[in-house]
Amino acid sequence: MPPVPSHTKSSLERTGRDFKEIHEWLDMDAEKKAERHDVTKIYEYGKMMEEKFGKEGRDEYIRHLHDDMKAKFSHLQHDFEKQIADTLAYFGVK
């Protein structure tokens, strides 16, 4: 998943603000990181972000989750494709 500096750079390019506090809140506390990335809490945490940072902050919170999900699934797809290729090669099919 992208590190905080990548998230802040993307936010800055999109909005003119880095929203560093949001990205650090999501990623920097190892014990709470999984809970804070829980998509079932988007409404709850999104509302909290909107109250603190406005609608743009809420949108950047959601964008952070989107970017992490995209990176995670891209990595998963790459690993899957490599495993299939390795398996086919093992059996001489490829």
Q: For the segment 53-67, what is each residue's pLDDT rounded down to a tens digit?
A: 999 999 999 999 999
Report which of 19, 80, 23 is spatially closest to residue 55, judged by C-alpha positions.
Answer: 19
Distance CA 21, CA 24 (A): 5
Question: Mean pLDDT, the chain, as a whole number?
Answer: 95
Rg for the chain (alpha carbons), in Å? 17
Q: With contact defined as beta carbons under 8 Å apart, do 72 and 1 qualify?
A: yes
Domain count, the chain: 1
pLDDT at 60: 98
pLDDT at 75: 84
Percent of the chain past pLDDT 70, that is, above it, reads: 100
Find the domain containing 66 and state its range. 4-90
Say if residue 81's pLDDT is above 80: yes
